[in-house]
Chains A and B, each alone.
Chain A
């Protein structure tokens, strides 16, 4: 039984470019959340998708957008990349939205130069 899988594992982009990160949730999970973890910091909540809709959003600009597909997988898109967007992006899945424990993937390391 595969856990949460994320792709790619590493990515290097230039300022101003756009990036798409992908996440497949753990089998049986229908809710996907995205977190940004800057170096030396704890993860920060970006947004959450359930039933293909954004249900909650953290304090991130509109440059950050996402999508959830019918098979529950999800994408995170970031436009007009800034140097400050360099971070580990973590995807987490859960069953429903009732504070069931999150299962995290290993993340995508994004470097913006």
Chain B
């Protein structure tokens, strides 16, 4: 069965600092991987996705993620965090037929 682990429940960074959110997955075949962001009271917005090809994928809002098969990881990064990035971030892996398995999320706080 597929699974996703997000080891960091909460992360606090200063505005302008760099960010890395960790994600480890377990899946038997080549994974389809996603990062979503959720603001309070809102649904999930897709930041980026990895299906195949280049292991460094670019997303919206200046986010990028790197797929590392040897480490079963798909970490999310941003070079300079903005106060508006404060939200909860979810990593997910897709099994067959577009069924997503999500991690428990990482809550990002940005200090001004």
Whether A58 lies near B46 (C-beta < 8 A) is no
The secondary-structure label for the interface of chain B is strand
Shortest B44–chain A CB gap in Å is 4
Instruction: Tell me how many residues of A have a C-beta within 8 Å of chain B.
Output: 29
Using A90-B44, A102-B46, A107-B43 as known contacts, say yes or no to A42 and B98 having CB atoms under 8 A apart.
no
Q: Is the CB of A58 within 8 A of B99?
A: yes
Residues of A within 8 A of B75 (CB): none
> Which residue in A35, A45, A56, A101 is a CB contact (below 8 Å) of B46?
A101
Residue of A nearest to B51 (CB): A99
Per-position binary interface string of chain A over residues 91-112, scored 1 when its CB falls under 8 Å from any chain B CB and 0 otherwise: 0101011111111111100000
Closest to B105 in A: A42
CB distance from B4 to the nearest CB of A (A): 8
Contact partners of A76 in chain B: CB under 8 A: none
Interface size on B, residues (CB 8 A): 24
Q: Which residues of B contact A96 (CB under 8 A)?
A: 98
CB distance from B7 to the nearest CB of A (A): 14
Does A55 lie at the interface of the complex (its beta carbon under 8 Å from any beta carbon of B)?
Answer: yes
**Which residues of chain A come closer than 8 Å to B43, judged between CB atoms?**
4, 90, 104-107
A44 at the interface (CB under 8 A from B): yes
Contacts of B100 in A (CB 8 A): 33, 35, 43, 45, 102
Most chain B C-beta atoms within 10 Å of own C-beta, residue among A40, A99, A103, A106: A99
Q: How far is the CB of B64 from chain A (nearest CB, A)?
A: 17
Beta-carbon contacts under 8 Å, A1-20 to B: 4
Contact, CB under 8 Å: B42 / A106: yes
Query: A94 with B98: in contact, given A104-B44, A106-B41, A107-B43 (CB under 8 Å)?
Result: yes
Contact in complex: A97, B103 (CB < 8 Å):
no
The CA of A44 and the CA of B101, in the complex, are separated in Å by 7
Question: Which B residues from 3 to 49 make CB contacts under 8 A with A?
Answer: 4, 32, 34, 36, 41-46, 49
Closest 4 CB pairs of A and B: A42-B102, A104-B43, A104-B44, A106-B43
Which residues does B use to contact A, with CB under 8 Å? 4, 32, 34, 36, 41-46, 49, 51, 90, 92, 94, 97-105
